[in-house]
Structure 1
């Protein structure tokens, strides 16, 4: 029997997110949109001149309601897989490419990702599970960055693998130390797991560090698994030097997962994917996938391929980047207002921040009790770090904030937190 460890962050969300009147700043998705809102980003809907006066084009619909709802294409529609492949071929910033090429000796643009090497899954959570289910088991050793999404270390443990946590430090900006990675490698190390951009910290592994991780994996012939579900939501200056996807860095044993949930504001369609430069790894994953997924919903596939169409994708991403930028300013001002009791490493990407709350004497708050008390007294929902990201370690005083909700929701939540901190001087 597989040993299942309680998934603390998901259970916390399930217990509290439906609290009446809740202001949810625990959610990790960009503020979700409807199909009607999605259609507004379609450039094909722009005003055009038909020779008889200017009219607004209707564009195309996200859904073909005449579709017969049998099973869809087993690995995902060709159009959707093509759109995803196109993002990897054209989505990495030149500055990041230059860093990677200098480190690895590579030339030219990122390695292409063929659509044949993209598998569609039911969200990134299914993609991640499939990677572990297929590629690791008893007798294997897995190294995983920490803190991160609990699934990334708890699932390989449940499958009988030994897991070593590659700890990140706030003092280092939550950037991994490659020297510590090398010290963790064993003869039976099968996989290195990274999460870039990182949940819960919002930190980005820079391109030069990423290239060094690839070098270590290649030297030791280890699978490098990168959960990139928050890509490409890079903020401000970080966007100018954003690292490439591991899928484009020329390492054959790389595996990458992502989805439409976080950066694309479409968690409700439950569409994710896996890609790898290795045909062999993709075929192994596809063979295992037959046991857990026939196809994703045809309706979900239609919405996903519409959202990632070149005529829609730029506007949708611009909306989400703009929302993140505005909200991060408000969150930064909150941290500055309470600098004697609140501290952080400012996020460079994604939708989450890992914020430390302390008392007047500099001691950390009991983050679990703090989050429960804040919810009870203000209806503001947060996620406690020690419970949901601790894994037997300690992140006492740390709270995860999901700040790319609607701006009005965040601002009201921060206003209520201001009042709570003022009333409870020791927090």
Structure 2
């Protein structure tokens, strides 16, 4: 029997998100309706959904329109990506699972960018692979060290997993570093997987090097990426994700594995995603979300700066999440107790870092903040946190050493 480690962040979200008054743990850009989507489109005559469409299984691998729109996004300034090199899935979480289930097994070694979404290292472990965590360091701006990557590689290393932009820190692996990772991998014929669900929310990058291309753009055949409509595109409710690769055989293997799970993505979901990613709509949607990122991040930064006596961070450069460290008298607080007390007293929901992202005591005192919700939520929620910091923070226990 396959044994899965408890998926800590998803269990935390499931337990508390319906109870929160201010959900500042949410990682999606503020969700939109079909009416919102229609208004964002330059083509006012088109509709997100044709109500006369028969509800069959639809296109098994995803409609040509949807895969074509995605191929267009992945083909900018690089070799065009064929439609058949994209497989539509039920969200990025299924895309990641199928990919890992297909690629690795007992006896394989996997290197995973860390901290990150737990699925990316727990699934390979659950099916018998050895996993080494390639740790980004806060003191280095949450950047990774390619020399350290080289030291982690073994003769049986099958896969290197990246998360770019990174959840929970909001850091970015630059073009230069990606190119170095590709060079190392090419030498050993190692597959690289990049979870790019927060791409292209590059809202605070200063140079072109800090604004990296998709991993698929770097000319290495053994690359594969996953993405979804949930984070950058505000449409978590339609449950549409994808796997895209320069390696057609890899896509075929994932498609074969998917036959044992979902036959297809729902036709309604496919149609809505197709509309959102069409050239007439996608640019307006992304502009809306990047502006929301910048507006809300400024509000969060003001809070951080006014509470430097208790918290610190590396300001995120992309994505929707920030990793904030809380301490008292120079010692980290118990982040789980802090989040539970904050929710009880104010209705504000954060995610505890050590419980949901750490191993072996990593990230004690950290919380993940999701700041790209409706601006009123982040503004009012942080006002409630300010009150907590003034009146209740001294009661938060310190972390046990």
Bigger Cα displacement from structure 2, 116-125 vs 282-291: 282-291
Alpha-carbon separation, structure 1, partners of 2:360 and 2:86: 36
Alpha-carbon separation, structure 1, partners of 2:321 and 2:13: 15
Task: Give the alignment of 1:13-412 within 5 angstroms.
Answer: 13-19=13-19, 22-45=21-44, 59-90=45-76, 109-238=77-206, 240-241=208-209, 242-359=211-328, 361-412=329-380
Alpha-carbon separation, structure 1, partners of 2:176 and 2:335: 34
Contact 2:204–2:316 (Cα < 8 Å) also in 1? no
Contact 1:238–1:349 (Cα < 8 Å) also in 2? no
3-state secondary structure, aligned to 2:60: coil
Task: Provide, for residues 345-391 of structure 1, a one-character-per-residue CA deviation record: whole Å limited to 9, x for no partner.
Answer: 000000000000010x1101100000000000010000000000013
Alpha-carbon separation, structure 2, partners of 1:195 and 1:14: 23
Alpha-carbon separation, structure 1, partners of 2:199 and 2:30: 16
3-state secondary structure, aligned to 1:358: strand
Contact 2:225–2:244 (Cα < 8 Å) also in 1? yes
Q: State the partner residue of 2:399.
A: none
3-state secondary structure, aligned to 1:285: helix
Which consecutive residues of structure 1, in runs of 5 or more, have no partner in the other structure? 46-58, 91-108
Alpha-carbon separation, structure 1, partners of 2:135 and 2:58: 41
Q: TM-score, normalised by structure 1?
A: 0.91
Q: In the TM superposition, what is the alpha-carbon distance from 1:60 to its structure 2 partner?
A: 0.9
Q: In the TM superposition, what is the alpha-carbon distance from 1:131 to its structure 2 partner?
A: 0.5
Shift of the 377–363 alpha-carbon distance from structure 1 to 2, 3 Å rule, reads same
Alpha-carbon separation, structure 2, partners of 1:249 and 1:141: 24
Which consecutive residues of structure 2, in runs of 5 or more, have no partner in the other structure? 397-401
Bigger Cα displacement from structure 2, 191-200 vs 229-238: 229-238
Q: How many residues align?
A: 394
Q: In the TM superposition, what is the alpha-carbon distance from 1:240 to its structure 2 partner?
A: 4.3
Q: State the partner residue of 1:97.
A: none
Q: State the partner residue of 1:415.
A: 383
Alpha-carbon separation, structure 2, partners of 1:399 and 1:238: 26
3-state secondary structure, aligned to 1:421: helix
Alpha-carbon separation, structure 2, partners of 1:326 and 1:213: 33
Shift of the 332–38 alpha-carbon distance from structure 1 to 2, 3 Å rule, reads same
